[in-house]
Amino acid sequence: MTILITGGCGFIGSALIRYLLQHTEHQIINLDKLTYAANPAALAAVAANPRYHFKQLDICDAAALQQIFTQYQPQAVMHLAAESHVDRSIAGAAGFIETNINGTFQLLEVSRHYQQQLPELQRQQFRFLHISTDEVYGDLATADAPAFTEQTHYAPSSPYAASKAASDHLVRAWHRTYGLPVIITNCSNNYGPWQHAEKLIPNTISKALSGQPIPVYGNGKQIRDWLYVEDHVRALWQVLNRGEVGQSYNIGGNSEQQNIEVVKTICELLDELAPMHKRGYPLNTKHSSLITYVTDRPGHDLRYAINSSKIQTALQWQPQHNFAVGLRNTVLWYLQHAGSL
């Protein structure tokens, strides 16, 4: 099989490509524009693999997409390319509308025209897997409100979440109207190696290691469900192979945490693994002394919680990393990567 992956130089896309090259025999075509969020170093270990092909390309460029489909004749598309950072979407939403909505539209159109001219069997077997977020559901007002299911209605809060919600609607409509064999996944907050420094966990680690204030929005009591990226890519592979066309699947990590607890746990791990006195600070200085509360993000969602029972029952997928283990692995990875161990 030839699998076309968009956004493969990003955090989740690169983990997916490493996973697929290691665990399958398939050909992987990675289409990525290489925005600020891309990190080709995350693929350095597999870049020379003869089953891996990279093309720098903007998914809004339909002609370039068409050429790739004609050249590589993919059997599946896994669509991860997106502008993905909520704060950036608040500062300026245009790029989010362009890539997340228009880019998804262009990719759907090229996929549909390509799929329709395939021979019958291949036409049926073709899959378009759209990777989306639990942020399309908005937030939960209380700690005991039931978690999002696939039936929860869409109520996105940020420009990022709204652009992803719009892309989900397009994908569903291309199935309903044109019969494109699509599947959608909505996952919770990912974490793990190679995440961009702008996101909560790597940002906390890097600020702590450089002795800068560690910013925490508002009172830090926002709750997120944390999903280890390797568990997520395993789920995506299951969904692509065994998921039902036209369905969506929630993917969560069963690990709800308040942001402030995540930050404090990272500080404790760093106190143990990379104590501040080794970097010239007085003995017993704690990383938590760097925590600084800052003005809350506008429209900040209070709580996301995801009910993954559908994928767990239908596809027998379970997250394998609990948060304590996953976070320790992640902190160790960033320390090794920063040369701090």
Q: Is residue 230 among the annotated active site residues? A: no
Q: Does 58 bind ligand NAD (CB under 6 A)?
A: yes
Q: Does 3 bind ligand NAD (CB under 6 A)?
A: no
Q: Which of 83, 135, 225, 231 is catalytic?
A: 135
Among 5, 77, 81, 165, binds ligand NAD (CB under 6 A): 81
Among 3, 4, 28, 60, binds ligand NAD (CB under 6 A): 60
Q: Which range binds ligand NAD by CB under 6 A, 76-84, 215-223, 252-260, 282-290?
A: 76-84
Q: For 319, phi and psi rounded to 5 degrees?
A: -65, 140
Q: Is residue 120 among the annotated active site residues? A: no
Instruction: Spell out the SS3 assignment of the chain.
Output: CEEEEECCCCHHHHHHHHHHHHHCCCEEEEEECCCCCCCHHHHCCCCCCCCEEEEECCCCCHHHHHHHHHHHCCCEEEECCCCCCHHHHHHCCHHHHHHHHHHHHHHHHHHHHHHHCCCHHHHHHCEEEEEEEHHHHCCCCCCCCCCECCCCCCCCCCHHHHHHHHHHHHHHHHHHHHCCCEEEEEECEEECCCCCCCCHHHHHHHHHHCCCCEEEECCCCCEEEEEEHHHHHHHHHHHHHHCCCCCEEEECCCCEEEHHHHHHHHHHHHHHHCCHHHHCCCCCCCHHHHEEEECCCCCCCCECCECCHHHHHHHCCCCCCCHHHHHHHHHHHHHHHCCCC
Q: Which of 134, 225, 231, 256 is catalytic?
A: 134
Q: Does 11 bind ligand NAD (CB under 6 A)?
A: yes
- Asked if 73 and 115 touch (Cβ cutoff 8 Å), the reply is no
Q: Does 34 bind ligand NAD (CB under 6 A)?
A: yes
**The token pair that represents 40 in the structure block:** 């080709």
Smallest gap from Cβ 211 to ligand NAD, in A, equals 26
Q: Does 99 bind ligand NAD (CB under 6 A)?
A: yes
Q: Does 32 bind ligand NAD (CB under 6 A)?
A: yes
Q: Which range binds ligand NAD by CB under 6 A, 56-64, 293-301, 315-323, 333-341?
A: 56-64
Smallest gap from Cβ 161 to ligand NAD, in A, equals 9
Task: Draw the binding track, 238-277, toward ligand NAD (x: CB under 6 A; -: no contact).
Answer: ----------------------------------------
Please report, to the nearest 10 degrees, the dihedral formed by the alpha carbons of residues 68, 166, 151, 183 taken in order.
0
Q: Does 82 bind ligand NAD (CB under 6 A)?
A: yes
Smallest gap from Cβ 286 to ligand NAD, in A, equals 28
Smallest gap from Cβ 212 to ligand NAD, in A, equals 22
Q: Is residue 160 among the annotated active site residues? A: yes
- Segment 139-198, which members bind ligand NAD (CB under 6 A)? 164, 187, 189-190, 196
Among 5, 68, 77, 80, binds ligand NAD (CB under 6 A): 80
> Which residues participate in catalysis according to the annotation?
134-135, 160
**Residues binding ligand NAD (CB under 6 A):** 6-7, 9-13, 32-35, 37-38, 58-60, 80-84, 99, 103, 131, 133, 164, 187, 189-190, 196
